[in-house]
Amino acid sequence: GQNIDQPTEMTATEGAIVQINCTYQTSGFNGLFWYQQHAGEAPTFLSYNVLDGLEEKGRFSSFLSRSKGYSYLLLKELQMKDSASYLCAVERGGGNKLTFGTGTQLKVEL
Amino acid sequence: SAVISQKPSRDICQRGTSLTIQCQVDSQVTMMFWYRQQPGQSLTLIATANQGSEATYESGFVIDKFPISRPNLTFSTLTVSNMSPEDSSIYLCSVEDAVEGRFFGPGTRLTVL
């Protein structure tokens, strides 16, 4: 089976840096996605990691360690609009299926 | 990235009826998926919509309840059959495009009374 863990909630200050962790246990691991989802909206694609290491994309970076079953999403220079749910999703198997974690609700405060 | 549209965007339905949700993509994509997101929860994969063959369903989801069509590489439908209030959810279409991005449609918000 699959097990994906993320913190339920996090709070951070505008302008700061926040790291959202995701640990997973799964068979047939292909890669890991991060999505942002604002309330009432569809998830928005942020990143996809296949190989170990850090992928940087503007203010957002994502890290993967396949051997440790661990990923994190790093958000820099936080803005109020970054308040959202952040979903970690593991891609598995030959059918490229995604299994989602429960999401981390991030609140950015002044 | 692929542009995905869904119809309807929302609907309120009576118990026992069925609703068909359409998903249209602006480019040909190999993989199309249907997800459900129940209130306050994360996304759950219902099935993979296969072009030209029967959909592949995940554990807990069956074809009689969620029949899926995929007549070509840009279009798919999901039907929620014999609805009950427990089917109230957001239903999302997802596609995988050529640059390894996985994108979601805007979702269909379904309320069953």
% pLDDT > 90, chain B = 78
| Predicted pLDDT at B40 | 84
| Predicted pLDDT at B96 | 86
Per-residue pLDDT of chain A (110 residues; tens, 9 = 90+): 568 999 999 999 999 999 999 999 988 899 999 999 998 899 999 999 999 999 999 999 999 999 999 999 999 999 999 999 999 999 987 767 889 999 999 999 99
In order of A48, A76, A79, A88, the CA distances from A16 in angstroms are 24, 6, 9, 21
Which residues on chain B are in Cβ contact (under 8 Å) with A44? 104
- Provide the shortest C-alpha distance from residue A43 to chain B (in Å): 6
Out of A22-36, A65-79, B32-46, B98-112, least confident range: B98-112
Which has more confidence, B45 or A1? B45
Which residues on chain B are in Cβ contact (under 8 Å) with A101? 42
